[in-house]
Amino acid sequence: MGTNMRALDLSPGRLAMILCLLVFFGVFLIYPLIYMTANAFIVNGKFTTEFFRLMITDPTQWNTILNSVNLGLAVTLVTTIISLPMAAVMARHEFRGKALLNGLVLVPMVLPPFVGAVGMRQMFARFGSVNLWLLDLGLIDQPIDWLGGGMLGVVIMEVLHLYPIMFLNVTAALANVDPSLEEAARGVGAGRVSLFRRITFPLMLPGYFAGAVIVFIWAFTDLGTPLVFEYRQVVPVQIFDMLSDVHENPMGYALVVLMLVMTLVFFGLARNFMSGHAMMSRGHVTGASSPLSRPATIATHVAFLGITILALIPHFSVILTSIADRWYMTPLPSLYTSKYYAMVFDHELTTTSIRNSLGLSAISTALDVVIGIWIAYLLTRTRIPGRQVLDSLAMLPLAVPGIIIAFGYVGTFSGTFLDARNNPVPLLIIAYAVRRLPYMVRAAYAGFQQTSVSLEEAAQNVGASPARSIRRITIPLIFANLVAGGILCFSFAMLEVSDSLILAFEQRYYPITKAIYNLMTRPDGPFIASAMGVIGMALLMAGLLIAGRVLGRRMGELFRA
């Protein structure tokens, strides 16, 4: 028995690690999904599909589902239109300032759309800055409803936040297309349109599809942005509204299962599509990256900067709102102040929420570091059976939206010592950790891959145990990767939306994002909320910059399917 275990790399220590990981994933990821699925189909002890039938036959429920699908499709289409030309230039050409523009693409990610929506309401409201400017210039006679009753505002915010995700995936896809195939097509007279349609796009399609799936699912499952724009006819908001009667009305479970099935099917299709259509590797073709002419370089800079400026409008709106002392019927504030920043650190709700988020994020990040190292070690340094299963479990949170995990925790652990209504702290920590674990696993995995195993073997040859060799040799060598992954986990946990909105029921437990949502109903709330958003934006920007410096080009891998 012992010999067989050693042959499979199943030492007692590794077996204990595997069991701990399986228990963790089983209790806090797989079991809630099974619990929700069971409650969607089994009511009063009997199997039924009644609530799924109501989704189709009830006009209200059906329109809600269609709205969510249309929202996801609209965001995916617009991000494609924006990202595809940008990615083509970045992947196929060299020009002055390329690295700078490539970095600017990631800037919009530092502001979650939930926070940006606060400022956008002020900027694009019926009597907001944009309409007042246009009225003053005489370009319009009546204010324009830019937000379109809610949905248009949600689409704009999602697009401005998610086009970098699409850009990263499309750029990677284009970089993996063998340019010799395109050269061959040009040699037989193929034009640019025909070349892209018949050669380039089919070869990059798996990578594009991966990006499109991420964008669609992200937009389809977003809870915070529709709430701020008061666009409630979408599935996530309907699920949120059903929290109060989660055990009385199975429709909430049914909607969660619908969302879960859609996300898993799309991600499964993306993975199978990518594995079944392996892209041609880059050929060693001279001049694969051609230089841009000076006019083309200038045009590229103008286009990239224009898109970046447009994407930064929500950031500008939030900053402006946070320093506005008097802003009524004028394009810009007539008086400025810093009092709202002072109130952030003086207001009971905001100070409590900041303290809560700091503690929750720090503990969840520590949990991610430990679990991420364990998983990366088992995947890169052992031949244990079922490594693919462990890898899939670690990456599954990328495919399971936060609203599903949070709603599942409320239902699954209700009435237990983990009941979020009594004390949501344990579940908030676990939810944050589960949601951001894939980032840490990928960062640690990259570090292990880049570190030669021979160093650990040498240490073990002189008597060090595997655990000691990892702790004393490998961990210091991959410390930069762990720091980068930890910073990302901490920064994103600080601004986590769905878990915070759903799990924190009482004000004393509110994290930052739940406090921002609560402030929106108060007279001066949007201004204080904007000040909190600016602080969070600065934190996330610092985290991305530090992680980018450490990981370099590998940074994009953390945001790809």
Percent of the chain exceeding pLDDT 70 equals: 87
Neighbours of 247 (CB within 10 A): 12
Q: What is the homologous superfamily of the domain 20-35+338-561 according to CATH?
A: MetI-like (1.10.3720.10)
Q: Which pLDDT value is given to residue 265?
A: 85
Q: What is the pTM of this model?
A: 0.83
For tokens 């599509």, the residue is: 273
The residue extents of the domains of the chain are: 20-35+338-561
What single-letter DSSP state applies at residue 522?
S
Cα separation, 101 vs 471, in Å, equals: 39
In this model, does residue 345 exceed pLDDT 70? yes
Any idea which of 270-284, 346-360, 410-424 has the lowest mean pLDDT?
270-284
Cα separation, 264 vs 254, in Å, equals: 15
pLDDT band at 7 (very low <50, low <70, confident <90, very high): very low
479 backbone dihedrals φ, ψ, rounded to 5°: -60, -40
Any idea which of 27-41, 142-156, 172-186, 274-288 has the lowest mean pLDDT?
274-288
Q: Which pLDDT value is given to residue 532?
A: 87
pLDDT band at 175 (very low <50, low <70, confident <90, very high): confident
Quote the distance between the C-alpha of residue 48 and its chain's center.
Answer: 34
Cα separation, 212 vs 75, in Å, equals: 9
In this model, does residue 34 exceed pLDDT 80? yes
In this model, does residue 451 exceed pLDDT 80? yes
How does pLDDT run across 200-230, given as a tens digit for each residue? 777 777 778 888 888 999 899 999 888 888 8
Question: Which structure tokens are listed for 539?
Answer: 């934190």
Quote the distance between the C-alpha of residue 467 and its chain's center.
Answer: 33
More confident residue, 461 or 16: 16
Q: Which pLDDT value is given to residue 153?
A: 82
In this model, does residue 525 exceed pLDDT 60? yes
Cα separation, 144 vs 547, in Å, equals: 41
Mean pLDDT of the chain: 82
Question: Which structure tokens are listed for 511?
Answer: 């994290």
**HSE (side-chain half, CA atoms, 13 Å) at 461:** 6
How does pLDDT run across 89-129, given as a tens digit for each residue? 887 788 888 888 877 787 777 667 777 777 777 777 777 78
Q: Which pLDDT value is given to residue 549?
A: 66
What single-letter DSSP state applies at residue 225?
H
In this model, does residue 428 exceed pLDDT 90? yes
For 55-131, strand residue ranges (E) read 93-94
How does pLDDT run across 65-83, given as a tens digit for each residue? 999 999 999 999 999 999 9
In this model, does residue 192 exceed pLDDT 70? no
In this model, does residue 85 exceed pLDDT 80? yes
Q: Which pLDDT value is given to residue 554?
A: 53
Q: Which pLDDT value is given to residue 356?
A: 94
Q: Which pLDDT value is given to residue 14?
A: 80
In this model, does residue 13 exceed pLDDT 80? no
94 backbone dihedrals φ, ψ, rounded to 5°: -115, 135
DSSP labels, 269-324: HHHHHHHHTPPPPPP--TTSSEEPPHHHHHHHHHHHHHHHHHHTHHHHHHHHHHTE
Percent of the chain exceeding pLDDT 90 equals: 27
DSSP labels, 333-345: -SEE-SHHHHHHT
Q: Which pLDDT value is given to residue 548?
A: 64
More confident residue, 317 or 150: 317
Q: Which pLDDT value is given to residue 137?
A: 82
